[in-house]
Each structure stands twice: as C-alpha cells, then as structure tokens.
Amino acid sequence: MACQICYGGATQPMLRRGTIFALTATLGASVASGCRGPEPEVFQVRVTSIDTHGGPALADEQVEGIMRHSLERAPSFSPAERDQRSQRSRGNVEVLNASLEYREIPDAADNGRDLLVRLFIEPPEDLGDELGRDGLDATVMLERKAGEADLESDLQLATDRLAIILQARADLARRSEGAVEGLLATRDAEIILETLAWIRRHPQDAQSRQAADRVAELINDEDENVGLLAIETIGEIGGPEHVAIVIDRIQLTNAGQVSRAYEAIARLGGPDAEGFLRFAARNEDEPNQRAAAERALRRVAEVGGAMDEAGHARTRGHR
C-alpha cells in the first residue's frame, strides 16, 4: 500500500502536473501535539458537498461519520452541530463549509485500484491571506493492490491523512506558539516539507529564524526531497555560521544537492562562503556545476563577503 499527496491539487490533471511526494499511511495523534500555548479557536466544519464522480459510493451518513472521526485528529476543527446547518456562524464559533470528493481509479498494472480523495475546507476569514494559494485544500492518492481495497476503510485512512495535513497548515497560518519547531520534529516527510515551504515564504518570522539549526540538520534527512528543500531553506534563514554545517552535510556526489548548496552558501555569506565557492569554481570538473559555483561566487562577492584562509579549509571532496 502507498499513499501520495498533491498540494493544492483539486483535480486529477493537477495531481499529474503538481509536485507529488510518497508518504507513509501510518496515522497517529495530531502532528501539532507538540505545539504549546493557549488552546486555539476551534472552527466548526460543515460538509455541504460529497462528490463521487459517478463511481462507487458510500451513503452520505457514512461519509459524514468518516469526516467526524478524521476531525478528531485536527484540534482546530470539529464537526458542525446539526442545528447550525442553516446559519453561517453561531456566537463566536465560525462555521466553515467543506467539500469531499473521492473516486476509485483502476490500476491495470496489478489489477488493484487507487482511491483519489480531495478535501476542501473554506479558509477562515482571518486566515485566508496567511494560508496562501493552497489554502485548506489537499488531495491524497491511496494505492491498493488487488484484493486489498475496501472503500470505507480506505476513505477513512485517506481522510484522516488530509485532516492532519490541513491541521498543520492551520497551525502555521496562525503562527501557533512552537508550531514550526513541533512540525519539524516529526518523522513525517510531508509535514516537514509543508513546514519548510512555509519557512521559505516567511524567512523573517521569529519561528523561522529560530529553526535554522534544525533545518540544517534536515539536509541529511533520509527523504531526498526534504534534504533538497532544507538546503534551499537554510539559505533563506541562516547566517555565515551555517556555512561549515552545509558544506559538511551535503553529498558532493549528488548534483542536485551541490547546485542548491552553492546558491544557499552564497546567501549565507561571509569569508567561509567565498573561500569555498572560489575553490569550487576553480576545481569543479562538471561544466554545469562549475557555472553554478561561479554564479554563486559572484553573488557572495557582490554582497561584500571577504575571502580568508578559512574558506580553503572547508573544501571536503574537491581537489
């Protein structure tokens, strides 16, 4: 079994074009459980649309029950009470409309089927801008081999996963105390990727700056996508003190890491950065990598990084 997620992808064509990452289907407590501070406002969620695209379907009551169970994993959301269906909000509780789409897609390769599930929750009024383009909209693909598929349990698993993803986005949008630290501490690659992307959009945020050391550690993450995005992110929030860490952690045989590292090191700046980039530009054998090192060297020189001998001491793997 495998499960995949597409960020901001509302339909299958977007799922094909969008960035898709493999993820585990193991679901535990909310990933936000490590966050500290007062209890956040809870948004009531009302399912107003269920669409199966003409395929196999569960009764609406079953789907609503699945949603109620999934929202238990998301402390910021809870099912709307039935007597709230005719009104937009009640008291200080904001009611958000939600739509759930799901459909089965046959997989000819193993005679199994994939289950594509999309959950959209309308953004709260005060978080619309903070949530950005993707908002509270995510799509999961759950893959099943022949004989393993069970629509009800698979839909529950996929919807649980979506609730966790949207809870993480809500925590980041609210800048909940300890949110960045807690989310980066998970072993969930998708949650970490969400958080790194948020940090890149908010490099001046205090939580982003405080996460620099943890981001540097993630360069060695077992998930390649996490490692690559961590390199890009440290260049946005780190400083000259992180240059040696980046040089030590990148794999100099990995072209994707090296090209990103050159740019990140240039952004970090300082004499160590200029020394390393000058050495790399002089000694890279691969033309594209050498060009990347030269561009990075020009960049760090433009911001006034002065070279000293320390830069030459951190040239692991180069001639």
pLDDT category at 260 given cuts 50, 70, 90 is very high
pLDDT score recorded for residue 1 = 46
| Whole-number Å distance between alpha carbons of 311 and 315 | 8
Q: Residue 38: its pLDDT value, please? A: 54
Stretch 189-209: mean pLDDT: 95
Whole-number Å distance between alpha carbons of 171 and 131: 10
How high is the pLDDT of residue 126? Answer: 86
**Mean pLDDT (whole number) for 69-95:** 73
- Residue of 196, 105, 141 lying closest to 15 (CA atoms): 141
What pLDDT shows up at residue 147?
Answer: 75
For residue 9, what pLDDT band results from cuts at 50, 70 and 90?
very low
Q: What pLDDT score does 128 carry? A: 83
Q: How confident is the model at residue 39 (pLDDT cuts 50, 70, 90)?
A: low
For 85, half-sphere exposure in the C-beta direction (CA atoms, 13 angstrom radius) is 5
Model confidence band, residue 25 (pLDDT cutoffs 50, 70, 90): very low
CA angle 24, 28, 30 (to 5 degrees): 110
pLDDT on residue 91: 52
Using 50, 70 and 90 to split pLDDT, how confident is the model at 294? very high
The answer to whether residue 20 scores a pLDDT higher than 70 is no
- Cα–Cα nearest to 160, from 135, 188, 179: 188
Asked whether the whole model's pTM tops 0.95, one would answer no
Whether 200 has a pLDDT exceeding 90, the answer reads yes
pLDDT band for 92, please (50, 70, 90 cuts): low
**Residue 188 has what pLDDT?**
92
Mean pLDDT of 210-228: 95
Q: Which residues contact 292 (CB under 8 A, 6 or more apart)?
A: 258, 259, 262, 263
Q: Which of residues 167 and 24 earns the better pLDDT score?
A: 167
pLDDT digits (tens, 9 = 90+) for 232-243: 999 999 999 999
The pLDDT value given to residue 54: 92
Per the prediction, the chain carries an average pLDDT of 81
Q: What is the pLDDT of residues 308-319, one digit of tens each?
A: 443 333 333 443
Task: Report residue 305's pLDDT band, with 50, 70 and 90 as the boundaries.
Answer: very low
Average pLDDT of the segment spanning 164-175: 94
CA distance linking residue 34 with residue 178, whole number of Å: 7
Q: Does the pLDDT of residue 202 top 60, yes or no?
A: yes
Average pLDDT over residues 65-74: 93
Given a cut of 60, whether residue 298 has pLDDT beyond it is: yes
